[in-house]
Chain A
Amino acid sequence: MSEVTATRALVTRGSRPPRGTRITRGSAPAGVRRRPHSTTWIALAFAAPLVAYLILFYAYPLVQNVIMSMHRFDRNTFVNGGAPFVGFDIYGEVASQPRFWPVVRQTAIFTIASLALQYVFGLTLAVFFHRAGFRLAAGLRALFLVPWLLPVIVSGTTWQWIMNADNGILNTFLGIFGVDPVWWLSTDTSLISVIIANVWLGIPFNLVILYSGLQNIPADLYEAASLDGASAWQQFWRVTMPLLKPVTLITLLLGLVYTLKVVDVIWIMTAGTGTSQTLATWSYGLAFGKGTSSVIRYSEASVVGTILLLVALVFGFIYIAVQRRQED
């Protein structure tokens, strides 16, 4: 009897847990049921204001913009409703305007020229301040931030005065070298004028970010390079530039997204006339009846705005792809 009891006891103990305990997956202790943690609710509560803000000020205008670009609005239907749905007709109409491709080209030239020149000048100054290291550098650096700190209405108006064709200081300065006065703000040269002003405005931003990027490059890399016999120029190309790549990427992307949207400096200087018309200024003029026409073209403005958004989005994706490849 004792042998059978012993065997039964052995079998029982080894194969089945004792009664009363519940088996659960994971590390929950016995007797505890799984339910959402209170921390999840707290997290949602913190995120709620931000989500509400994003929906109200980003999602709603975005969706409204796209919807507006697919209905034919005028002042009457804007106020009283009833705008007809026309699908992508207005996109076709805007794209077939004689002005459309020149404006796209001008936007591209404005953006690429501004970015390139801002980056080159910003990098030159950053390297200068990084290498120079003499005591005046701090004061000079502060002075170079002035374009960034001045309100754009001040800088824009000042540049308009500087570039005045008849008695602006730029023409007087060029006259010293025997150059004929240039009508800077005429239709043909207005693009160059606004690029000059925008480059001047953008150098401090590049300077500050690239300078901090330069400071993060360890000095012993330069020492090692010079020990290996590298000249200053070679050090710049083989040590500085590769290590600046992530900072360069972010500077260029931020600069690109900002420059695509620039309206203020162009509007103050030329009101977007002539070759200085970009997608952003065109959209602004159409949306508020500014510039040559006081007619508000709601749908056309939404179309140009949507196009601008898509361009920025494309470059955003390019940046993400490049960054991901860099991490791999």
Chain B
Amino acid sequence: MSPTTFHRIAAIGAVLATGAALTACSSSPAPGEDGSASEGSTTSKITFWDPYPQHKEGSAWDEHVKECAPDGATITRTSAPQTDLFNQLTSAVKEGNAPDIVVLDNPMMPSAVGAKLLATAEQAGISTDDVDENLLGPGVVDDVAYGVPFGSNALGLYYNADVLAAAGVDPASITDWDSLNAALAKVVAAGSKGITFSGVAGEEGVFQFLPWFWGAGADLEDISSENAVSAGQLISDWVGEGYAPKSVTTDNQSAAWDLFLTGEYGFAVNGSWFAAAASDADFATGVVPIPARDGGVAPVPTGGEFAVAPIQDDDASDHYANAAAVIDCLTSGDAAMKTAETLGYLSAKPDVRAQQVAENPLWGPWVSSVEGAEGRTTDLGGAYVDVSASLSEAIQGALNAAGDPAGVKAAFENASGY
């Protein structure tokens, strides 16, 4: 062959060989060394990751976290949306430079534990006393606790009191699906729009759908059951009849809330973190628990995040001591109350919760929902994420079917794979 061709082939070969060699060089890291918070001491720089980018620097939550630094230490706080935060945590533990404390969404806990990303609560000196069982559930894997929840939010059915009054609907009469549909029909007939909710692809849409799913008696173990299909039919009919806007397939909860704040909608399915915003709206609002299909209150999924300590490679005991100090500060005494109020959650500890309700009447309607909330991952553990993905596919298919029963049934039966 000619010298030029030879040189070309040699160059390509050298480049690929170097690439392969580099890949071989990146050795897999060893699992984190064992450590314990009691054996370490706090360091001067503490890193704190949370999924609240809406609480910017200088906000109430930001100040509250930084005040919880032990003497002589400073806390650096970084925020990212839920899934991104989890991905960044994965990379950080792989590289060996994970932060001291991470606040992780509760359905991600079994996946994080399965990937050996987290230290146990005992190791990290995190106290899980006085926390409600149902709220602690997602963080307990194989009878070992891995973190402590700050609190929970819950989903409820907000209503626009002015629109309902104009349509002649009594919110107290909404006790099951039939009465809800009748109320929606009345509201739309009176000239307003019906209901907003979030059906976006992903965990947020599934979170919003679960009260209807569980309220129909369906189980996450089998998402193609008749009860599951009936829940899908409910929301699909809303889109088909025009009670809900077609943008539900791409709206997240924030966008759905913005639609409700326009004052044109009668109802909104949204979370307790908007309770304060609801009382400040231009129109009178109220909230009722989400009804189950045949009467009663539908179980809602536990919202909220867990404070956890990631696995560390070097100086693990010191990092765990940092985690113990900061998390203890955020979840005990007066600070626990402040944590819950700033985030808009109902505390995971019953006595703090009672104090919250006593001081702020806004929380009254939400207590029963939070106490009856079910963990998404408590039964399924690590298998939940796959079920959630399939359920999200089913929800998207049902919403797009816009009321067509065959389409809804097919959506729930065919939802699988990736």
Stretch of B50-58, B87-95, B294-302 contacting A (4+ beta carbons < 8 Å): B87-95
**Is B357 an interface residue, CB under 8 A from the partner?**
no
The stretch that binds A, out of B151-159, B230-238, B382-390, is B382-390
A55 and B396: CB pair below 8 A?
Answer: no
Consensus secondary structure, chain B interface? helix
For A187, the chain B residues whose CB sits under 8 A away are 396-397, 400
A274 to B396, CA, bound (A): 9
CB proximity to B under 8 Å, residues A299-328: 300
Interchain CB contact under 8 A, A80 and B31: yes
CB <8 Å contact, B90 and A60: no
List residues of chain B with CB within 8 A of the CB of A78. Answer: 90, 94, 115
Q: Does A185 contact B (CB under 8 A)?
A: yes
When distances are taken between beta carbons in the complex, the residues of chain B under 8 Å from A270 are 250
Residues of B in contact, count (CB < 8 Å): 44
Which residues of A have CB within 8 Å of B246? 164-166, 183, 185-186
A97 to B211, CA, bound (A): 31
B101 on the A face (CB < 8 A): no
With A187-B400, A292-B393, A296-B87 in contact, do A81 and B29 touch (Cβ < 8 Å)?
A: yes
Assembled-state Cα–Cα distance A290/B94 (Å)? 21
From the candidates A97, A188, A271, name the one contacting B201 in the complex (CB within 8 A): A271
Given the known inter-chain contacts A75-B111, A292-B393, please indicate yes or no for A59 contacting B18, CB distance below 8 A. yes
Which residues of chain B in 116-155 are interfacial with respect to chain A, using CB atoms and an 8 Å cutoff? 116-117
User: Nearest chain A CB to B178's CB is how many angstroms away?
Assistant: 26
Decide if B83 touches A289 in the complex (CB within 8 Å).
yes
Q: Which single member of B15, B27, B400, B417 contacts A54 (CB below 8 Å)? A: B15
The reply to whether B418 and A97 contact each other, CB–CB distance below 8 Å, is: yes
Contact A63 B115 (CB under 8 A): no
> A81-B29, A294-B385, A294-B388 are known contacts. Are A164 and B83 too (CB-CB below 8 A)?
no
Specify which chain B residues have a CB less than 8 angstroms from the CB of A274 in the assembled complex: 396, 400
Question: Which A residues are closer than 8 A to B by beta carbons?
Answer: 51, 54-56, 59-60, 62-64, 67, 74-76, 78-82, 97-99, 160, 164-166, 183, 185-188, 270-271, 273-274, 286, 288-297, 300
B interface residues (Cβ-Cβ under 8 A, vs A) = 15-16, 18-20, 22-23, 27-29, 31, 83, 86-87, 90, 93-94, 108, 111, 114-117, 200-203, 245-247, 249-250, 385-386, 388-389, 392-393, 396-397, 400, 402, 417-418
